[in-house]
Chains A and B, each alone.
Chain A
Amino acid sequence: MAIGKRTIRVDAYDKVTGRAKYTDDLCDKNALVARIVHSTIAHGYVKTVDTSEAERMPGVVKVLTCFDVPNRPIGTAGHPWHLEAAHRDVEDRLLLNRHVRFYGDDVAVVIAEDDVTADRAARAVKVEYEELPFVLDVREAMEDGAPQLHEEFKNNILGHTSIYKGNFAEAIKEEGLIKVEGWYDTPLVQHCHIENPVSYAYMEAGKVVVVASTQIPHIVRRVTAQALSLPWGSVRIVKPYIGGGFGNKQDALYEPLNAWLTTQVGGRLVKLEISREETFYATRTRHAIRFHLTSYVRPDGTFVARKFAAYSDQGAYASHGHGIAAKGMGAFPQLYPCDNLECDAYTVFTNKPVAGAMRGYGIPQAMFAGEAHIDDIAKALDVDPLEYRMRFVMPKGYAENFSMNVNYADSFRECLEKGMEEFDFKRKQKAYANQTGDIRRGVGVAVFWYNTGVWPISLESSACRMVLNQDGTIQLQMGETEIGQGADTTFAQMAADTLGIPFKHVHVISTQDTDITPFGTGAYASRQTYMGGFAIHQTALQLRDKILKHAQTLTRMPSYNLDLVDGYIVRTTDGERLMSLGKLATDVLYSMEYSEHITAESTYQCNSNAYSFGCSFAEVEVDIPMCKATLIKLTNVHDCGTLINPALAEAQVHGGMSMAIGYGLQEKMLFDEKTGRMLNDNLLDYKLCTTMDHPDLTALFVENAEPTSAYGTKSLGEPPTCSGAPAIRNAILHATGVAINETPITPHVLFERFNEENRFERLKEEQEEMQAQPVGAGAR
């Protein structure tokens, strides 16, 4: 069996030796290069673009502007197409925009023969604007009279949904209730994948071909074809290995633009690789969401009524839009069930970079607010926050009506128990209870809610192809994409086991080519293993049936007495190996009577979802005068069902924890209030965590096999990044007694909050008191 083994990744050797080819490695070095000219105002109209100086430069091939592009607005979100127009993404931007809506919007493009010329020419393009007032704050953007970004969305509200249950107003009349409320703020952050978005485009045989670093080749084909008003079959997208995406590449970024560029230069090869700075301000971000949470609890801790309000900062264009805030809100009533609820989520346009999908899709934000709030409730009640969660977090057997998800096992308590023990949580909690001095330690915990895939909101469909070679090995092709997470390896493990061949006999074709690869919607929503699993399972059984039918012919044994085990045709009655699969494949292919190229291909549509739960434990050391919180230890515990590959699962969790550390302590996109320009659009000023900012990371698992899944799995891609930040926040609260309701908890924030709570003065008083006590007084 391959499943459950710490198998080495199928792409490990190629990737560590540098042999693996990424988009830029594959691009012909003679390609023309494109550079985008971005707007230098936050809001307004382009009046004129003077391209004359740029066009005169030797080596400049063409300069195209917002006045040249097709007048066909596109929706860029990486969602499956919907047959009903009402469920489709908002189409609100052109390939280049005359109405610019954020500092950095795309205005013009230079195509040149080399990088230096392209840079010089891009700097020489002169854009004249008619400036409009702009708004950066999400609450201000909702006010009457605020600058409007899109005419059809009044008060800039892209989406507003609600969850109401019971009777909140009545319920809070109960006597003796304790009210806990707070504002919780999460920042705009960026994915910071290593490989910046890059594509190259050319025309061949009447088609537009785009090779791109994307998570979603089939969706990018659809969006590109729509943008260029081409038949979908006239666009071909190829996705080689990619250097990370984390949701940013779950959007049609610049692939449609580049596809159009090649059509403007006679189909010549054009490379469009953007810089780190552009990646920051001109691709996608994680929505900054402001929350206001209110809970009415009885003195025994039971929830009586709760209110939830979320204001999600969409930035300038719709992209994934309201889905993020809606998902965050959806978790709220489920995590700590309560009979009386009033929940509202708003998604609001502002003149900032565009928010899209990013690992966690609303849940890291919602967990920061929700789990900080739980610690605030525990503090108000003076109870242990871990015990509080143990009592009130979603019980075993909880069923949810929309997703039809069921909490089959007692995942939360099992994860909390396991983590608590490994972390030595109780002992530390006690030991750090009454500290004095400049430097103090604290421990905190937070749980997270997650699900798997996007059913029933969107289509969940995946196709798989298996082709048998003469030696008994197979090619495996999936529409689902390897984006660094290790999907190809787990696909091979699952295929090997269901088919009955050794793991090494599965050759995964990592590249997706929409002309060749079966349909799949791509890597997002932590769906690859769950969704891909169904398609692999179904296709492997079909291939196995075909093989065993031929085995019957060749061995003269009935196929129901035959099995395929470890690459051999085995007689089940006595376990005898009758022939190798390789011999069978060769005999069948070259047979003069019944030659067949044995293949199988199928589509699986799934109509299910699956809960995936867990928690984080954090230990911090806070240096109060220095305003620094250092993470000492972080442990994540996940119930993601059966582990296909424990080593890859751990790696996935470590990566997610790393993002959670940055989210909790360091990362935030900053903007100039006067211009709307991003201030820290580089990796020096944007404080992505370095190795030196990480403690040792511990990943633990509880394996409750998921009954809806082909292989017992549920999501693990995004969950690891969801609960780390609130656990860190709660640890800082434990260490210092200071509740910090915003993330990242940087030294700036600590300075402000310690000042507000007079912590510096208190330290001095404490020291003076200690000095006033006679030395050795206790030693008598």
Chain B
Amino acid sequence: MYDMKALYEAESVDHAISLLVEHPEAMVLAAGSDVFIKLREGKLAGREFVSIYMLDEMRGVTLEEDGTIRIGSLTSFSHIVESEIIQEFIPVLADAVLMIGGPQIRNLGTIGGNTCNGVTSADSGATLLALDAEVELKSPEGVRIIPLSEFYIKPGVVDLRPAELQTALLIRKAAYDGYIGQHFIKYAMRNAMDIATLGCSVNVKLSDDKQVIEDCRIGFGVAGPVPMRLPQAEDTVRGEVISKDLIEAFGEATKHDVNPRTSWRATKEFRLHLIETMAMRCLTESIIKAGGVVE
């Protein structure tokens, strides 16, 4: 028995939006793997909810004509892991969401929920950012598409306007084409059912001779208040010849990009040490996966 004032079941995306217009205080309820926990804690007690869980039009992974990978916001993590499109072009996203919770949570939880929560520890956040993902949003005013990096505002707050619904995540062809070196590391205190101490996602595009890093993108979760990219670290290696020293310089550069905090979950010093270590490992693995050699 949950302490809900009302639950409105949406029958279509447009219906969901009109329900949100009608009930401006209502919260969107997708699979509920986070909302129900808060309800149980009494934090959302007595609230109204618009359930979008039945909206199959928001589910699934498709490859559009221009090569854009479209992931419906209600697509479950298990679904993403199994998707052939994901496996072929951006397997790193499957690796990342496979680290979420346990099998039951992955069957339930959705990628839209993971991003709309706006938490820095969301396991999909670092990877989606590193893949230059965009967010499709629908409201009575129509559809708008913005970069995920702009969607995140601050902890727990994303750029969702009144009665606006996140309908899909988009990954453009230019963002994955040629980036065959992809790697993700989740750092947590246990091997399942855990919140990330840190999450690191790297993808690289190497030159034809595999000697030079043509491009590198790195995303981090829990390195700051929201998932973030590390531009200085990326600049350090872009266009450079692969070497052990370069990897170390990359690790060193992470310190200029991040701003982790001390909490009872981990000290700032420990997080900084791990960020450097994880960045170097993730880059090394990405280079190896792209056919490069680090020596």
Asked if A pairs with B, the answer is: yes
- Given contacts A670-B264, A684-B195, whether A626 and B274 have CB atoms under 8 Å apart is yes
Contact A746 B189 (CB under 8 A): yes
Q: How far is the CA of A580 from the CA of B28 in the complex (A)?
A: 70
Q: What chain B residues lie within 8 Å of A683 (beta carbons)?
A: 193
Q: How far is the CA of A120 from the CA of B189 in the complex (A)?
A: 34
Surface stretch bound by B, among A10-18, A181-189, A500-508, A688-696: A688-696
From residue A333, how far is it (CB to closest CB) to chain B in Å?
Answer: 37
Contact A116 B193 (CB under 8 A): no
Contact B187 A626 (CB under 8 A): yes
Q: Does A747 contact B (CB under 8 A)?
A: yes
Surface stretch bound by A, among B108-116, B212-220, B231-239, B265-273: B265-273
From residue A59, how far is it (CB to closest CB) to chain B in Å?
Answer: 12
Ordered by A's residue number, 9 sampled pairs between the chains whose C-beta atoms are within 8 Å are: A115-B1, A116-B3, A687-B190, A687-B194, A691-B192, A692-B192, A746-B189, A751-B269, A751-B273
From residue A703, how far is it (CB to closest CB) to chain B in Å?
Answer: 35
Q: Does B294 contact A (CB under 8 A)?
A: no
- Given contacts A625-B277, A670-B264, whether A692 and B2 have CB atoms under 8 Å apart is no
Q: How far is the CA of A120 from the CA of B269 in the complex (A)?
A: 41
**A 616-628 to B, binary, CB cutoff 8 A, 1 in contact else 0:** 0000000001110
Q: Per DSSP, are chain A's interface residues mostly helix, strand or loop, or mixed? A: loop
How many of chain B's residues have a CB under 8 angstroms from any CB in A? 27
Q: How far is the CA of A683 from the CA of B265 in the complex (A)?
A: 14
**A 659-694 to B, binary, CB cutoff 8 A, 1 in contact else 0:** 000000010001010000001100111010111110
B266 — nearest CB in chain A belongs to which residue? A748
Q: Does B42 contact A (CB under 8 A)?
A: yes
* CB proximity to B under 8 Å, residues A110-129: 114-116, 119-120, 123
- Given contacts A119-B45, A123-B42, A626-B274, whether A748 and B187 have CB atoms under 8 Å apart is no
Contact B190 A114 (CB under 8 A): no
Contact A690 B192 (CB under 8 A): yes
Contact A693 B264 (CB under 8 A): no
Q: How far is the CA of A116 from the CA of B47 in the complex (A)?
A: 13
Q: What chain A residues lie within 8 Å of B189 (beta carbons)?
A: 666, 687, 746-747
Q: How far is the CA of A390 from the CA of B264 in the complex (A)?
A: 42
Q: What chain A residues lie within 8 Å of B191 (beta carbons)?
A: 690, 692-693
From residue A13, how far is it (CB to closest CB) to chain B in Å?
Answer: 25
* CB proximity to A under 8 Å, residues B1-41: 1-3
Q: How far is the CA of A94 from the CA of B178 in the complex (A)?
A: 70
Q: Per DSSP, are chain B's interface residues mostly helix, strand or loop, or mixed? A: loop
Q: Does B102 contact A (CB under 8 A)?
A: yes
A771 — nearest CB in chain B belongs to which residue? B244
Contact A627 B274 (CB under 8 A): yes
Q: How far is the CA of A114 from the CA of B3 in the complex (A)?
A: 11
Q: What chain A residues lie within 8 Å of B192 (beta carbons)?
A: 690-693
* CB proximity to A under 8 Å, residues B259-284: 264-267, 269-270, 273-274, 277-278, 281
Q: How far is the CA of A690 from the CA of B189 in the complex (A)?
A: 11
From residue B278, how far is it (CB to closest CB) to chain A in Å?
Answer: 8
10 tightest A-B CB contacts, nearest first: A692-B191, A692-B192, A690-B192, A625-B277, A116-B3, A751-B270, A687-B189, A115-B1, A687-B190, A693-B191
- Given contacts A666-B189, A679-B264, whether A119 and B3 have CB atoms under 8 Å apart is yes
Q: What chain A residues lie within 8 Å of B102 (beta carbons)?
A: 690
Q: How far is the CA of A123 from the CA of B43 in the complex (A)?
A: 11
Contact A119 B42 (CB under 8 A): yes
Contact B194 A684 (CB under 8 A): yes
How many of chain A's residues have a CB under 8 angstroms from any CB in B? 29
Q: How far is the CA of A777 from the CA of B273 in the complex (A)?
A: 34
A116 — nearest CB in chain B belongs to which residue? B3
Q: What chain A residues lie within 8 Å of B194 (beta carbons)?
A: 684, 687
Partner of B193 from the list A690, A746, A748 (CB cut-off 8 Å) is A690
From residue A733, how far is it (CB to closest CB) to chain B in Å?
Answer: 21
Q: What chain B residues lie within 8 Å of A684 (beta carbons)?
A: 193-195
**A 748-766 to B, binary, CB cutoff 8 A, 1 in contact else 0:** 1001000000001000000
**A 95-117 to B, binary, CB cutoff 8 A, 1 in contact else 0:** 00000000000000000001110
Contact A689 B45 (CB under 8 A): no
Q: How far is the CA of A299 from the CA of B189 in the complex (A)?
A: 41
Q: How far is the CA of A664 from the CA of B127 in the complex (A)?
A: 33
Q: What chain A residues lie within 8 Å of B190 (beta carbons)?
A: 666, 687, 689-690, 692-693
From residue B269, how far is it (CB to closest CB) to chain A in Å?
Answer: 8
Contact B1 A116 (CB under 8 A): yes
- Given contacts A123-B42, A670-B264, whether A114 and B277 have CB atoms under 8 Å apart is no
Q: What chain A residues lie within 8 Å of B269 (beta carbons)?
A: 751
Among B189, B192, B195, chain A packs the most CB atoms within 10 A around the CB of B189
Q: How far is the CA of A685 from the CA of B264 in the complex (A)?
A: 10
A sample of 19 more A-B contacts (CB under 8 A), given A672-B264, A680-B264, A690-B191, is A115-B1, A116-B3, A123-B45, A625-B277, A627-B273, A627-B274, A683-B193, A685-B195, A687-B189, A690-B102, A690-B190, A690-B192, A690-B193, A692-B191, A692-B192, A693-B191, A747-B270, A748-B267, A751-B270
B41 — nearest CB in chain A belongs to which residue? A277
Q: How far is the CA of A679 from the CA of B263 in the complex (A)?
A: 11
From residue A126, how far is it (CB to closest CB) to chain B in Å?
Answer: 16
Partner of A114 from the list B1, B42, B264 (CB cut-off 8 Å) is B1
Q: What chain A residues lie within 8 Å of B187 (beta carbons)?
A: 626
From residue B119, how far is it (CB to closest CB) to chain A in Å?
Answer: 13
**A 483-516 to B, binary, CB cutoff 8 A, 1 in contact else 0:** 0000000000000000000000000000000000
Q: How far is the CA of A771 from the CA of B277 in the complex (A)?
A: 19
* CB proximity to A under 8 Å, residues B174-209: 187, 189-195, 197
Q: What chain A residues lie within 8 Å of B266 (beta carbons)?
A: 748
Q: What chain B residues lie within 8 Å of A627 (beta carbons)?
A: 270, 273-274
From residue A120, how far is it (CB to closest CB) to chain B in Å?
Answer: 7
Partner of A626 from the list B193, B264, B267, B277 (CB cut-off 8 Å) is B277
Among A115, A120, A666, A747, chain B packs the most CB atoms within 10 A around the CB of A747
* CB proximity to B under 8 Å, residues A731-780: 746-748, 751, 760, 771
Q: How far is the CA of A771 from the CA of B270 in the complex (A)?
A: 28
Q: What chain B residues lie within 8 Å of A679 (beta carbons)?
A: 264
Q: How far is the CA of A576 from the CA of B3 in the complex (A)?
A: 71
**A 124-144 to B, binary, CB cutoff 8 A, 1 in contact else 0:** 000000000000000000000
Q: What chain A residues lie within 8 Å of B197 (beta carbons)?
A: 747
Q: How far is the CA of A689 from the CA of B192 in the complex (A)?
A: 9
Q: What chain B residues lie within 8 Å of A748 (beta carbons)?
A: 266-267, 270
B102 — nearest CB in chain A belongs to which residue? A690
Q: What chain B residues lie within 8 Å of A760 (beta carbons)?
A: 273
Q: How far is the CA of A747 from the CA of B195 in the complex (A)?
A: 15
Q: How far is the CA of A760 from the CA of B102 in the complex (A)?
A: 33
From residue A196, how far is it (CB to closest CB) to chain B in Å?
Answer: 13
**B 57-78 to A, binary, CB cutoff 8 A, 1 in contact else 0:** 0000000000000000000000
A115 — nearest CB in chain B belongs to which residue? B1
B267 — nearest CB in chain A belongs to which residue? A748
A744 — nearest CB in chain B belongs to which residue? B189
A689 — nearest CB in chain B belongs to which residue? B190
Contact A120 B195 (CB under 8 A): no
Q: What chain B residues lie within 8 Å of A123 (beta carbons)?
A: 42, 45
Q: What chain B residues lie within 8 Å of A692 (beta carbons)?
A: 190-192
Q: How far is the CA of A504 from the CA of B191 in the complex (A)?
A: 42
Q: What chain B residues lie within 8 Å of A689 (beta carbons)?
A: 190
Q: How far is the CA of A748 from the CA of B277 in the complex (A)?
A: 15
